[in-house]
Amino acid sequence: DKAEIGLIGLGTMGSNLALNIAEKGHRIAVYNRTPSRTDDFVAKAGALASRVVPCESLADLAAAIRPPRPIIIMVLAGTPVDEQIAALRGELAANDIIIDAGNANFRDTMRRFKELEGSGLTFIGMGVSGGEEGARHGPSIMVGGKEESWRRVESVLTAISAKFKGEPCAAWLGTDGAGHFVKTIHNGIEYADMQMIAEIYGILRDGLGMAPKEIGSVFADWNKGRLNSYLIEITAEVLKADDPQTGKPVVDIILDRAGQKGTGKWSVIEAQQLGIPATAIEAAVAARVLSSLKDERLAAERVYGGGVVPIKAPRETLLKQLELALFAGKIAAYAQGFAVMAGASKEFNWNLPMPTIAKIWRAGCIIRSQMLDTMVEAFGTGAASTNLLMAPDFVKMMQEAHPALRHVVALAMEAGSPVPALSSALAYFDSYRQGRGTSNLIQAQRDFFGAHGFERIGETGAFHGPWGQG
Ligand code: 6PG
């Protein structure tokens, strides 16, 4: 009995994805460079092992799958993917599909797609979100490649994906790099969302002097309301957990230095390349970088002092405002992420289906939240086609929430509690809604020192100022 699909790379994500595939009734051939890992995998697969074909070489793997073969690669993004593709090419035949399911840079995906063109093999770049749990029980799956390649793997991918009220969270989003690009922006929004949550945690911890468990309860409450989302839910759980070794709250023993693997940074780089402002995401990436400068921060604290001034405000009222502020910041971050995708869609001719993207983010992925359901509607009707902030449902939400964002940012800034993502989101909103901005002055300056010319209100053509006349 030949397998329907293959998978290379039995790390955490690969193993879980393979078990998920087997559980949905598909026979799967698996291969790992270190054979002991394959043995371990089979030993732990339990009853599902009957649908797993362990392979000792890529040749075995190719022989174990019924052609035309779909093979998922789940290895570290970067060179290992190129190495796997190169090794696989010798073993595969026309019409086989190589599917890269890692967090690849979409530019690499576009290159690989091109490199395989004409070889008879096809390539799919597939973004998978949802962490370990998602991979095992239902991730959100963002596919890029030829539509006919997607059609051939659609049934297995929809079977293993998360479901939102029965609808699968897997979709074909466009050619070549489209899937990995959308996954990258998903992660960009994820960075902004996490950073804004951390900023609110900072205000509660340092401004209000609340203990982790108390803060956890606040997040748990918020998860029942408009902020309902996976990230708020896990934040509440994280804040309530104790460290078995010391008995202290776990968050209190974790070093305040955040890592990153690249997707957030790529979102920002691409946003800049496309000329689309994504300030909340930029701030979140910068905040992770700053967090990594632990020793410098400690030294600076000794020079400047780093204490947050206690915030004196009635707690219940302030909590309500913090909730609304986070809500407003989150809307701005999504608006920016979708705007970047719209820009990329034009640039790379992907024709990205925004309502579908919002749909497949409603379950399985890390940024799943109640708000996404309203986005499906806003993009579906075209109401958000210029910017999410202009869709009537979101106008209503922002009108209610932005005063709280303003108040919270002002309060935090006064107290010295850093709020880079929230304040960037607010500045974006304020700039976006300012019909007459201040760039008239920038234009005048540019013309003054470089004779760059400016436009006059209500006239066409380039004009120069009367500079240098004393
Ligand atoms: C997801 C996550 C996942 C992973 C990222 C996080 O959607 O399931 O985004 O892909 O956790 O690698 O990125 P950092 O390691 O850069 O935080």
* Residue-range domain boundaries for the chain: 5-176, 184-432
SS3 label, residue 77: coil
Ligand 1 pocket member 365 (CB < 6 A): yes
Q: Residues with Cβ < 8 Å from 442, sequence gap 6 or more?
A: none
Token pair recorded at residue 440: 């008239």
Q: What is the pLDDT of residues 52-111, one digit of tens each?
A: 999 999 999 999 999 999 999 999 999 999 999 999 999 999 999 999 999 999 999 999
User: pLDDT at residue 468 above 90?
Assistant: no
Ligand 1 pocket member 108 (CB < 6 A): no
Whose Cα sits closest to atom 4 in ligand 1? 131
Backbone phi and psi for residue 420, each to the nearest 5 degrees, phi listed first: -60, -40
Ligand 1 pocket member 184 (CB < 6 A): no
Q: Identify the sign of the CA torsion 188, 193, 194, 195.
A: positive
Helices (H), 293-391: 294-304, 315-347, 354-360, 371-380
> Model-level pTM?
0.97
Options 3.40.50.720, 2.40.50.100, 3.30.310.80, 1.10.1040.10; which CATH number does 184-432 get?
1.10.1040.10
Cα(191)–Cα(202) distance, rounded to whole angstroms? 16
From the CA of 103, how far away is ligand 1's center (Å)? 8
* pLDDT at residue 469, rounded to an integer: 79
* pLDDT at residue 451, rounded to an integer: 94
Ligand 1 pocket member 195 (CB < 6 A): no
From the CA of 31, how far away is ligand 1's center (Å)? 24
Cα(350)–Cα(175) distance, rounded to whole angstroms? 6
CB atoms within 10 A of CB 143: 28
Cα(446)–Cα(47) distance, rounded to whole angstroms? 70
Q: What average pLDDT is seen over the chain?
A: 97
Question: Does the domain made of 5-176 have the CATH classification 3.40.50.300?
Answer: no
* pLDDT at residue 324, rounded to an integer: 98
- Separation of CA 302 from chain center: 35
Cα(385)–Cα(391) distance, rounded to whole angstroms? 8
Rg from Cα positions in the chain = 25
* pLDDT at residue 470, rounded to an integer: 64
Burial degree of 91 (CB within 10 A; 0-12, 13-18, 19+): middle
User: pLDDT at residue 438 above 80?
Assistant: yes
